[in-house]
Amino acid sequence: MILSFGEICGSEKQDEILAGLEAKINGVRAAEPLDTGTVIGAFDRLAWRIEAGEFDALIDSLGLDAAARYKAQAVCMLRRESLEYRLRRELPGGMGGLEYEAPPFGLQGVRAFRLPLGTIFHIAAGNVDALPAMALAEGLLTGNVNILKLPQTDKGLSVTILKALVDGEPALAPYVHVFDTPSSDVAAMLKMAQMCDAISVWGGDEAVQAVRRMAPPGVKLIEWGHRFSFCYVTGDHTRHTEELRALAEHVAVTQQLLCSSCQAVYIDTEDPAAVRDFCGLFLPMLQEAIRAHAPKEIGMAASLTLRRLTDEVEAAITGGSAQSDGTDLMGRLPVRALPRVKLMEALRKRKGRLQTAGLIADDPQDGIIDILTRAGVNRVTGAGEMSETFQGEAHDGEYPLQRYTRVVNSRFHAE
């Protein structure tokens, strides 16, 4: 399905729509800019509709694990108070003219204005349901025209939600263009890229590299690529059984699909026996959590079964155990000794990819947080909160709303 200028049509109309889209977008951008208050009001009304259950049938049909939890998070993030809070935190001066301060030494100043980038091409990833709609919310909040390429796993959820959004506020319709174009249709994606000022891409290394090759010269590339997240355990882990259960729940619920999902556990020790002791305590918790959150969709269940069988084959070949090293039933969760004196060196090997550290510590204020953040970690949370969304937080060390805007200077408005 395609959503453009508030109308839904079939994918067969893609080439026809793309042929005239840039001229129409230019007309939109030449008119009065999109009002931030209008955007906030539209999303606030949409949040109430989501909370009231208007989209529950579609959400339930997707078989999402922890759907109620994600729905509650989406409602909270789209409410007026949350969006206004984000604007204040990420764009302190707001959109439009920024506060002027005369420069020192009697030099002539210049006015600064924060404006939209213009037109953003969002290439969404499929590892988080409803993420495409949330990415578009950020583009609209900063006044941009948005072209969104959906992942093949979206199954109509984003189109349905965004159609409801523009129906509720027709002023947003010219700023929302959603396509279900497959990634193999390079010609269509290139057309979308050529009419944009920036490309925002979510995905792994191959997806990001493909977009880099495709991006026309001069088009800003905003990457939200693959990241590495882990749990770090320091102190006596036997004192933290509740936190370990929360970590196991996190692994099972996220299915290790998110950038913030725990992909490894590091223990602040050089003693292999301490690692084995940790695995002996944690593995039953992990198995219990995974059984409680077994995938409902048959395709996912088959995929996880294949992973488990692969682990068993590898264990048979190596003569080891499929569970003794912390392997779980969905994929691998390696557990390794990594004393804090070696933490900087080890983490710097993953520079540019570090995201979340879930910390389990007897004393979190003993300097470990400083080591983690100096090494490049952008986010430190409790072990069970690694994929929680917190209001006002940056994403991969940057505020999205800032990346979707530009600062324009004008001498004609100098004080």
Query: Which residues does 104 contact at the CB level (< 8 Å), separation at least 6?
Result: none
In a domain, residue 107? The reply is yes
Q: How high is the pLDDT of residue 251? A: 93
d(CA 388, CA 253): 11
pLDDT for 413: 66
End-to-end CA distance of the chain: 50
Q: Is residue 265 part of a domain?
A: yes
The pLDDT assigned to 12 comes to 93
Query: What pLDDT is attached to residue 94?
Result: 85
Please report the DSSP string for 11-26 in residue order: GGGHHHHHHHHHHHHH
Instruction: Tell whether 299 and 339 lie within a shared domain.
Output: yes
Asked whether residue 172 is assigned to any structural domain, the reply reads yes
Task: Judge if 307 and 400 occupy the same domain.
Answer: no
267 and 210 within one domain: no
Task: Determine, yes or no, domain membership for 390.
Answer: no
CA distance 308 to 297: 17
Residues 289 and 260 in one domain: yes
In this structure, the answer to whether residues 355 and 237 fall within a common structural domain is yes
Q: Is the same domain home to 197 and 267?
A: no
Q: Residue 345 pLDDT > 80, yes or no?
A: yes
Contact 383, 364 (CB under 8 A): no
Q: Rounded to an integer, what distance in angstroms lies between the CA atom of residue 91 and that of residue 183? A: 33
* Gap between the Cα atoms of 48 and 81, Å rounded: 13
Residue 218 in domain: yes
Say yes or no to pLDDT of 65 above 90.
no
Query: CA torsion angle for 291, 296, 300, 302 (degrees, to 10)?
Result: 70
Question: In the chain, what is the greatest distance between 2 CA atoms, to the nearest angstrom?
Answer: 77
Beta-carbon neighbour count of residue 108 at 10 Å?
A: 9
pLDDT for position 313: 39
Lookup: tokens for 407: 């600062």
147-202 tens-digit pLDDT: 999 887 777 788 999 999 999 999 999 999 999 998 889 999 999 999 999 999 98
Tokens 């109620």 sit on residue: 68
- Confidence (pLDDT) at 328: 47
β-bridge partners, 398: 395
**Residues 264, 265, 269, 275, CA torsion sign:** negative
- Residue 208 falls inside a structural domain: yes
Is pLDDT at 323 greater than 50 in this prediction?
no
The two tokens of residue 317 are: 């070949």
- The residue with greater pLDDT, 99 or 179, is 179
DSSP, collapsed to helix, strand or coil, labels residue 196 as: coil
User: Hey, what are 315's tokens?
Assistant: 């264990």
Q: Is the pLDDT at 127 greater than 60, yes or no? A: no
CATH number at residue 197: 3.40.605.10
Of residues 233, 262, 385, the one with CA closest to residue 332: 262
CB 136 within 8 A of CB 173: no
In the structure, what pLDDT confidence band is assigned to residue 203 with cuts at 50, 70 and 90?
confident
Same domain, yes or no: 61 and 43: yes
Residue 391 lies in a domain: no
Q: Containing domain of residue 9, as a range?
A: 2-225+396-413
Q: Assess if residue 176 is contained within a domain.
A: yes
> What average pLDDT does the structure give for the chain?
86
Per residue, what are the HEC states of 113-163? EEEECCEEEEECCCCCCCHHHHHHHHHHHCCCEEEEECCCCCCCHHHHHHH
Local structure of residue 377 (DSSP, 8 states):
-
Domain co-membership, 14 together with 79: yes
| Residue 305 clears pLDDT 50, i.e. is over it | no
> At a CB cut-off of 8 Å and minimum separation 6, what does 231 contact?
247, 262, 264, 265, 266, 357, 358, 359, 360, 383, 386
Do 250 and 144 reside in the same domain of the chain?
no
User: Which residues does residue 115 pair with via DSSP β-bridges, in sequence order?
Assistant: 406
One domain for residues 267 and 316: yes
- The tally of domains found in the chain comes to 2
Assign residue 242 the CATH number of its domain: 3.40.309.10
Comparing CA positions, the residue from 359, 404, 402 lying closest to residue 379 is: 359
- How many Cβ atoms sit within 10 Å of the Cβ of residue 217? 4
Looking at residue 26, its pLDDT comes to 96
Q: Same structural domain for residues 10 and 155?
A: yes
Of 209-218, 386-395, 403-412, the range with the lowest mean pLDDT is: 386-395
The answer on 185 and 73 residing in a single domain is yes
The helix or strand, by DSSP H or E, that contains position 30, with its residue range, turns out to be helix 14-30
Q: Which residues contact 298 (CB under 8 A, 6 or more apart)?
A: none
Exposure string (b/e) for 153-184, b if CB count within 10 Å is 16 or more? ebbebbbbbbbbbbeebeebbbbbbbbbbeee
